[in-house]
Structure 1
Amino acid sequence: MDHLWTPWRYAYVTGADNSRRKLGVPEALAGWPGDKHCVFCNMIAAVDYAIEHGMPREQAEEAVYILERGKSCFMVLNAFPYNSGHLMVVPYRHEQSLAGLTLEEADELLRMTRQAERVLQAVYQPHGQNLGLNLGKAAGAGVAEHLHLHAVPRWIADNNYMSVLAETRVLPEMLDESWRRLRAALALDTLEQ
């Protein structure tokens, strides 16, 4: 019998996660003093705080799985992924609507999404990808108040009985490994930024 371990999902599926990770800030950045009441805002504030207090940038970004930082948006792994490699492109500015973004923010959101598509294809060779926004709770947004665009690699027949009947996802790769592989691919991505 095979055993499939996905320990990072336990707190999420049981609703028992009261840790700093729920705030978007892991224990590695425990010195961060505040809560901006948004997982994405917390993530950036904690990383910036850690860097200002001497933590190397790459170490601070790895702690929250930030893959890339642009001028107005950043790319980050989803801590509760649908598939290995599931990432998001997020504006720094707390905004709930695509229409509310500036043209500069919207342009960078799309440029980083194109970059995400390229690196996901290079690293995972998926049969397809889901790229999209869930605007508002009714549309399925987990964090409705802060816009984020999902990029999810997909494979033919990647939903099996575990997902369909048992409402459980089985992921073959740990988040740390996904972060290392995607971060390395981003460093090699030389197409238009």
Structure 2
Amino acid sequence: MADDFERLWTPHRLVYLQSGQQPPDDECPFCLAPGKSDEDALIVFRGKSCFVLLNLFPYNTGHLLVCPYRHVDTYDKATEEETAEIALLTQQAMKTLRKVSGTHGFNIGMNQGELAGAGIAGHLHQHIVPRWLHDSNFFPIIAKTKALPRLLGEVRETIANNWITDK
């Protein structure tokens, strides 16, 4: 059936989707991160019940994750304290990213469960992906390459040193 849409087929993504890349609970990277140095774990801010770190495989420069310290898999299992701090840290992350990188917009969301596309399904985490006008291109699809202009360590240091905690 014709529908006037062009389609880009990316069959190489199927390997990632079907490979079952979920770590066992005792190897959860979000549980292990707080026990490491901020630099090694890419943590930019530590709160009471949650922390913020850079995504190791970012969609864009400054792609952050807000995670509770507690190993819990879905939002409905998070405590009121955890959900409140996830919201607060998300707001602070947005303000910080606007300050340090001139972000024009954001994609914010949670993929809960392996079926929903969660890269780490066993540990709740919220994505904060900064966006800029005209930041989309075909490079990742055609060349299987993502052009990120700054190294993760440099991005972590900039965000951590400029974290905005005021409301």
TM-score range relative to shorter protein = 0.7 to 0.9
Aligned partners of 2:103, 2:85: CA distance in 1, in Å? Answer: 24
Aligned to 1:44: 34
Identity of aligned residues (%): 43
Q: Which structure's residues are more often helix, by fraction?
A: 1
The alignment's TM-score, normalised by the length of structure 2, stands at 0.81
What's the offset of the Cα at 1:161? 2.1
| Partner in structure 2 of residue 68 of structure 1 | 45
**Does residue 83 of structure 1 match 2:63?**
no
Q: Distance in 2 between matches of 1:95 and 1:166?
A: 36
Identify which of 115, 121, 125 aligns with 2:102. Answer: 125
For the structure 1 residues 41 and 113, does the alpha-carbon distance in structure 2 shift closer, same or farther, using more than 3 Å as the test?
same
Count of aligned positions: 146
Which residue of the other structure, out of 82, 95, 107, is the alignment partner of 2:84? 107
Residue 159 of structure 1: aligned partner: 136
Deviations 1:8-27 (A, max 9, x none): xxxxxx99xxxxxxx8xxxx
Q: Which runs of 4+ in 1 moved over 6 A?
A: none
- Contact 2:108–2:128 (CA under 8 A) maintained in structure 1: yes
Q: Distance in 1 between matches of 2:60 and 2:162?
A: 18
Q: Which has the higher contact order (CA 8 A, sep 6+)?
A: 2
Structure 1, residues 121-141: CA drift from partner, whole Å, max 9, x if none? Answer: 111112211111111122211
Measured in 2, the distance between the counterparts of 1:161 and 1:150 equals: 22
Q: CA RMSD in A?
A: 1.8
Q: Which segments of 5 or more consecutive residues in structure 2 lack a partner in the other structure?
A: 1-14, 17-22
